[in-house]
Structure 1
Amino acid sequence: MLGVSIPIGYPCLRPLILRDSYSRHALYVLLLTFLCYTLYHASRKPISVVKGVLHAAEFSGDNAGDKSVGWKPFDQENWSQLIGGLEYIYLLVYAVSMVTSGYVAERINLRHFLAFGMLLSGLTNIAFGFAYYCGIHNYLYFFCVQVLSGVTQASGWPAVVTLMGNWWGKTRRGFIMGLWNAHTSVGNILGSLVAGYFADSDWGAAFAVPGIMLIVGGLVVYCTLIDRPERLQLPGRFTRPPHLSLPNSKSTVESSCLPKRPSSDRLEELPCQSNTTTTTKQAIGLCDALRLPNVLAYSILLFFAKLVSYTFLYWLPNYLVVVEPGTVTAEQAAQLSVLFDLGGIVGGILAGWLSDPKESDSDTMTIWRRAFMCSVMLSLAAPLLIAYQALASAGSTTSLVLLFCCGLTVNGPYALITTAVSADLGTQHALQGRARALATITAIIDGTGSLGAALGPFLTGILVPFGWSAVFLMLLTSDLLALTTSLWIVCRSRRSTVKPSFLDARLKYTTLRP
C-alpha cells in the first residue's frame, strides 16, 4: 500500500506517466507548481485591467444601467484613491499573511495547504466578479473581498517554493528556478489576456473566469500532488537520483528537506528506517530565521524591488491608456502591457543562469554572485525608467522596446530573490541540516517584499493626480534604494568568511537533547 498520505489520483497517474522514475516525479512537481502559480498570478491581474472600465472620464450620477460611464463608487474624481486603497489593503494583508502562511506550511501537509488555498482564492475572485452581476456598488463589499483575497492568496508562494526545494537539489538552481519562475509573467500575461477580453463588455467575467481556473487547479493538486519524496514508502524511503542534486564540496550538508542520492534514476527502496531522523528536524522559528545571514538584507532589497514591479503590474495598463487618450482601449492596453512581463521572463532566466555558482563555491560566494547580478540589473533599470517615461508612446517601437527592457531589469532581481536566493538561504550551511527553514525564510523574504508591493500601488494612487512624473520619480527612488542594498550585500559577502553560526549550537542542542 502507498499509505494514507498518497492522493486519490496518484495511483492512476503513476503507471501512465510517472512510473518509478524520480526524475519524472520531480518534473511533474515542477510543471504542476508552475501551473499553480501561473493561475495565482492570472487571478491577481484583472483589477489592473478593469480599473479603466470601473472609472469614467465623465462622471454620472447613476450608472447602474450604463456600464460605459463607470461603476459606482469608482465613477468619481477620487477613483484612483479608491482603487489604490483596494490594491493596498490586498497587498498589505497578503504581506502580513505571508509570514503566517510560511509558518503553517512548514508544519502541515503541503498538498492540503496548497489545494485549500487555491480553492479559497478562486472563490474570492469570483466574489469580486459577482458585484457586476448583482449590481453591488458598496465600497465596503469590495474592501472585504480584497482582505479575504489577500489572506488566501498568501498560501501559494511558500508552498510552491518548498515543494520545489523538496524535490530539486542545488544543481543549476538559479537557471532551473529562473525558468520555473516564468510562471509569474506567464500568469500576468494570461490574466491580462483573459481580463482584457472581457473588460469592456463583461468585467465580472474578467474576475470569475480566472477564479474558476484557480479552483480547477486546486482540485488537480489535491488529487495528484506528492509533497515530498518521503511520502512514497513501500515501506522504505525513496531517494534522489544523482543528476538532480549536486553537492557543494565546501558545504557539509544539503537541504534538510532533500533526501540522499541513490545510484540510479529509479525510485529505490531503502531498508526501513525509523522516522526519528525526520521528526528531529524541527521547523525553525521566525526570530531564528531572521538572524540567519543575509535573510534580513535580502528582505529589504526585495521590498524596494517589488515596489517597482508591482506598481507596473497594477498601473501599467492604465498608464498606457493615459499616454494615448481616446486611442487605446482597455483591451489594447492589457495586450501592450504583456511586453513588460515578457521582459520579466527573460530577466528571471538570465539572472538565475548568470548567477549560478560553481561546484567549489561556498555559501558566501553564492550569495555574492546573486547580489552582484541584482546590482547589475538594478543599475541598468534606473536609466531605462527615465528613458521610458520621457519617450512613452503606446504605439512607438522605441517605447515598446524600452518597456520590454524595463521588465527585464526590474523583474530579473525580483525573480532571482524570491526563488534561487530564498532556496539558497533556506538550505545554507548555518542550518547544518538540522532544521526545516525553507518555507519560513521564503515567507519572510517575500512577505517583506509584499509590503513594498503594497506601498507602491498605494502611493501611485495618491501621486497620479499630481502627474505621472511624480510616479516615475518614486519608482526611480525605490530602484536606487534597492541598488544600494544589493551593493551592501555584495561588499559584505566579499569580505566575510564562513564562521559558525549562533544557530549551530542551538540546533545541535535541540537535536541531541533527550
Structure 2
Amino acid sequence: MTTDVNDYQIAAGNIESVRQELNMTATDMGWYTTSFHINARMSHMNIIPRRIISSGSWAYALTAPLTGQWTDRMGGHTGMLVACVGAGVCNLILGCLFATKSSSQLPFMLLFASNVALQGFGTSAVVKINAMWYAPSERGIFSGVFNIFVASGYYLALGSGHSIITSFGWSYLFFIPAALLLVISVVVFTCVANAPPPSNALSSSRFKAPVLPPNRRRPSIWALLQNRTLLGYLAAVFCLSWARDGLLNWMYSFFDSVRPVPLTADDHAILGGAWTLGGFVGGLLCGYISDTMFESKRMPPIVLFSTFQAGAFLLLYALAPSISTPFLGVLVFLVSVFLLGNYTLLSYTVPADLPEDISASAVGLFTAVGYISTGLAGIVMGSCIQRWGFAFWVTSLTATSLATALCTMLGSYFSELDDAQDEAVVPLQLPRQRRKSRASIVGSDVMVIAPDEDLLTNQPRRAVV
C-alpha cells in the first residue's frame, strides 16, 4: 500500500539498452517487473533469486484480505505491534542467515514471504487507527501526511541500501531494519492507542467512524465482496493501480524510445525527484480538497483528479519527444500530483471512512486487488507494447484513468440507490453534514449505527448520511 517510489529501481532499468544487454524482450521485462513490484526496494536484487522476491509479492497480495480481517478483530494497536515485532524478527533471522552464509533458498523464501505478509497488518492498522482518531474532515489531509512518510521511507531505503551493503555487508541490510522495527514496536506499545482516551469519549464520539451494532456479526470477506458499493470502489482501485504501475514500469522505456538522446543518470535523478515531490504534493492536495472544498466527500475529487490524470498522460505522450529534461520533469511532476493524489485518497482515506469494524478488512481487499492489477499490468503491458507500440500504452493509461472516475461514480450511485430503497446506511461525514457520503457501504450485512448528537441526549434516530 504505497506511493511506490521503490518502483524506480525496476522502472529505471526497463529501457531498450538494458533489455538488449539482458537479452530480454519487452514481454520478458513485463513478467520481470511483475515479480519484483513490491520488493524493488532491495537495491542489489541480482544476487537474490527471483523466486524469493516473488514469494514476497504473492504473500502480500494473497494474505492482505486475511490480515485486514484479523486486524479488525484484534484492533489497530495490536495489529501494528504484530507487524513491527513480526517483521523485525523475520529481518533479524534473515540477517543471521546472510551472516552464516546459508546456501538453502527455502528458509530465505519462507522468511522473506513472512516478512512481507506481516507488514500487511501495519497497513491495515494505520487506516483503522486513523478511522478512530480523526474526524472525516481531517482524514484526507492525514492520509496525505501518511503518504509522505511512506514515500520518504522508500526513498531513504533506496538511497541508503548501497552504502549499508558496501560498508557493513548484506546481513546489515536486514539487521538495521530489524533493530528499527523492534524500537518502533516499543514506541507503539507505549504511545499508540486504538481510540482517544475515555475522558474524551463524548467529545470525540462524533469523530469516529460508525460502528456495527452489538448484535451484528462482523461481515466476512465474502459478504463484503457481495456489496456492490464496495465492488465499485474495488474496481476503481484496480483501474488506478493499472495506470500507476503501467506508467512507472514503462515510463523510462518510453522516454528512451522517443527522445533523440537517451536519459542520463542526472536526468533520471531529476525525473525521480519530480515524481517523489509530486506524490507529496498530490496526496496533501487531494486530501485537502476533499476535506475542505467537498466537505469530506471523496467521490468528487477522485473524479476530478482522474480526469486531469488522463489529460496529463496525453500531454506526456505528446510532448515528451521534444521538450527539455527540466520541462519533462514538470510534466512528470503533474502526472504524479494527479495520479498519486488520487491513489492516496482512494486507498487510504476511503477505507478509513468505512465503519471502523470493517475498515481494516477493506484495506486488505483494496491491497489485494491493487496487486492483482499490478501483476496483470506487468504481464499484459509488455507483450502489447512489443506488438502495438507505446500507442497502446498511453491509450491503456488514459482509459483506466477515466475508468477510475466511472467506477467511483458507480460506487456512489449504488450507495444512493440502496439508501433510497431504505437499506441500512453507513454515514461517512460529520453528523452536521447531511448530504450523502460518496464512500458509503450499504446493505443488510453491513448495517451500522452512527454516533450523533442525538445519542448524547438519549434521542434515538435512524442512521443517515
TM-score (norm. length: structure 2): 0.69
What is the match of residue 255 of structure 1?
Answer: 210
In structure 2, give the amino acid aligned to 1:84. T
Q: Which moved further from structure 2: 218-227 or 373-382?
A: 218-227
After superposition, the C-alpha distances for 1:281-320 in whole angstroms (9 at most, x for unaligned) are 7543223333456211111101110122233445546666
Q: For 2:211, give the aligned amino acid.
A: S
Alignment partner for residue 239 of structure 1, among 180, 196, 200? 200
Residue 229 to residue 421, structure 1, CA distance change in 2 (3 Å): closer
Residue pair 1:463, 1:470 contacting (<8 A) in 2 also: yes
* Residue 483 (structure 1) aligned with residue 446 (structure 2): no
Assess if the C-alpha contact under 8 Å between 2:36 and 2:57 holds in 1.
Answer: yes
**Residue 350 of structure 1 aligns with which residue?**
285
Residue 438 of structure 2 aligns with which residue? none
Q: Deviations over 1:344-382 (max 9, x none)?
A: 2222222222222799x7xxxx6xx31121111111111
1:454 partnered with 2:375? yes
Partner of 1:471: 393
Specify whether residues 414 and 56 from structure 1 end up closer, same or farther in structure 2 by C-alpha distance, changes over 3 A only. Answer: closer
Deviation at 1:474, TM superposition (A): 2.6
CA distance in 1, matches of 2:31, 2:398: 25
Residue 355 of structure 2 corresponds to 426
Q: Is the 8 A contact 1:84 1:457 kept in 2?
A: yes
Distance 1:167 1:497 in 2: 27
Residues 75-116 of structure 1, C-alpha deviations (whole Å, 9 max, x = no match)? 332562552242365544422211011012122364454344
Pair 1:328 & 2:270 matched: no
> Per the alignment, do residues 245 and 115 of structure 1 end up closer, same or farther by CA in structure 2, a change over 3 Å counting?
same
Q: Aligned in 2, Cα 1:316/1:383: closer, same or farther, shift over 3 Å? A: same
Alignment CA distance shift 1:224-1:455 (3 Å)? same
Say yes or no: does 1:220 pair with 2:201: no
Q: 1:189 pairs with 138, 141, 155, which one?
A: 155
Cα distance in 2 for residues equivalent to 1:386 and 1:291: 36
- The separation in 1 between residues aligned to 2:108 and 2:446, in whole angstroms, is 50
Which residue of the partner structure matches residue 132 of structure 2? 166
Equivalent of residue 232 in structure 2, options 297, 302, 308:
297
| TM-superposed deviation, 1:117 | 3.0
Using the alignment, how far apart are the partners of 2:68 and 2:170 within structure 1? 30
Residue 483 of structure 1 deviates from its aligned partner by 2.6
Structure 1 distance, partners of 2:308, 2:377, is 20
Which digits, 9 at most, give the CA deviation of each residue in 1:154-181, with x for residues without a partner?
3331121112223333343222333333
d(CA) in 1 for partners of 2:328, 2:93 = 35
Q: Distance in 1 between matches of 2:187 and 2:307?
A: 43
Give the whole-Å Cα distance in 1 for the aligned partners of 2:154 and 2:168.
18
Gaps of 5+ in 2: 38-53, 425-442, 450-465
Following TM superposition, by how much is the alpha carbon of 1:203 offset from its aligned partner in structure 2, in angstroms? 12
Specify whether residues 83 and 115 from structure 1 end up closer, same or farther in structure 2 by C-alpha distance, changes over 3 A only: farther
Asked whether the 8 Å contact 2:209–2:352 carries over to 1, the reply is no
Q: Distance in 1 between matches of 2:20 and 2:369?
A: 39
- Residue matched to 2:275: 340
Question: In structure 2, how many angstroms separate the alpha carbons of the residues matched to 1:281 and 1:492?
Answer: 23
Task: State yes or no: 1:96 paired with 2:62.
Answer: yes
Does 2:35 align with 1:86? yes
Determine the structure 2 residue equivalent to 1:77.
24
Q: Is 1:309 matched with 2:244?
A: yes
Q: Can you list the C-alpha shifts for 1:363-420, whole angstroms capped at 9, x where unaligned?
A: xxx6xx3112111111111121122123226952321111011011111221111122
1:444 correspondence with 2:385:
no
Decide whether aligned partners of structure 1 residues 76 and 294 sit closer, same or farther in structure 2, where only a CA change above 3 A counts.
same
Distance in 2 of aligned mates of 1:153 and 1:452:
20
Match in the other structure for 1:500? 423
* Partners of 1:371 and 1:487 within 8 A in 2: yes
Amino acid aligned to 1:425: L
Conservation of the 8 A alpha-carbon contact between 2:298 and 2:345: yes
1:400 aligns with 2:329: yes
Letter in 2 for 1:298: Y
Q: Does 1:376 align with 2:319?
A: no
CA contact (8 A) 1:305 1:414 kept: yes
| Percent identity of equivalent pairs | 16
Provide the secondary structure at the position in 2 that maps to 1:289: helix
Do 1:102 and 1:442's aligned partners in 2 also have CA atoms closer than 8 Å? yes
Mapped partners of 2:410, 2:168: distance in 1? 46
Distance 2:223 2:201 in 1: 29
Normalised TM-score (structure 1)? 0.63
CA change 1:339–1:86 in 2 (3 A) is: same
Letter in 2 for 1:421: V
Looking at structure 2, the residues matched to 297 and 246 of structure 1 have their Cα atoms a distance apart, in angstroms, of: 27
Does the C-alpha gap of structure 1 residues 231 and 389 become closer, same or farther in structure 2, counting only changes over 3 Å? Answer: closer
Contact 1:370 1:421 in 2 (8 A): yes
Give the whole-Å Cα distance in 2 for the aligned partners of 1:310 and 1:334.
Answer: 19
Equivalent residue letter for 1:161:
V
Q: Distance in 1 between matches of 2:144 and 2:66?
A: 26
Q: 1:504 to 1:144 in 2, by over 3 A?
A: closer
Mapped pair 1:48 → 2:16: no
Q: Secondary structure at the match of 2:132?
A: helix
CA RMSD, aligned part only?
Answer: 4.6
Consecutive unaligned residues of structure 1, counting only runs of 5 or more, are: 1-36, 60-74, 248-252, 258-276, 428-435, 509-514
Aligned residues: 404
Matches of 2:221 and 2:60 in 1, distance apart?
Answer: 17
